[in-house]
Amino acid sequence: MSDPSPKPRIAVGADHAGFHVKEAVKRFLHEQGYAIQDVGTDSEASVDYPDFARQVAEKVARGEAELGVLVCGTGMGMAIAANKVPGIRAAVAHDALTARLARQHNDANVLAIGGRVLDEAAALAIVREFLNAQFEGGRHQRRVDKISALETTRPETEQAARSGNH
């Protein structure tokens, strides 16, 4: 019989500011038996974080990985970039509770963390919490569906929004 809940495949990526934490995350994921796809970067030489956010986000969006972990200086640039890819819900977390709630309530499929704001131990605790949490569905599914709908919705004009005429 097949494993009813196989471990998710994880795509990881970082820029120069997140490289050292990405390497620690990779070691942790490897020890835990996760299949890892590393899109780079491979050193602390300066690179542009959107290039790596895009690669991880597109792997998740295409279904080549179930979840992604991105590391830059703060996590912010990675999350902003990854969230431009349809189907991606990237969450910045600097603490374990936020990471857990991002999965439970927001069905986040990408975790963005900051190599300049977290030490390795804190980063690993956040990753562990994110991976161990499950989306709770229910009322949260309705809200996540509304987020997804924004991907194909044109912005209302200011007048329509005010009049409720839509």
The reply on whether position 49 binds ligand RB5 by CB under 6 A is yes
The reply on whether position 72 binds ligand RB5 by CB under 6 A is yes
> Closest CB to ligand RB5 among 74 and 109?
74
Query: Which listed range, 35-43, 74-82, 129-137, 140-148, lies at the site for ligand RB5 (CB under 6 A)?
Result: 74-82
Residue 104 CA to residue 19 CA, distance in Å, equals 27
The reply on whether position 118 binds ligand RB5 by CB under 6 A is no
Q: What dihedral angle (degrees, nearest 10) is formed by the CA atoms of 126, 43, 64, 70?
A: 30
**Nearest partner of 11 among 88, 65, 82, 79, judged by Cα:** 65
Query: Which listed range, 72-80, 83-91, 95-103, 149-157, lies at the site for ligand RB5 (CB under 6 A)?
Result: 72-80
Q: What dihedral angle (degrees, nearest 10) is formed by the CA atoms of 85, 79, 121, 19?
A: 80
> Closest CB to ligand RB5 among 75 and 107?
75
């990675």: which residue's tokens? 78
The residues carrying an active-site annotation are 72, 105
Give the binding site for ligand RB5 (CB under 6 A). 15, 17, 49, 72-74, 76-77
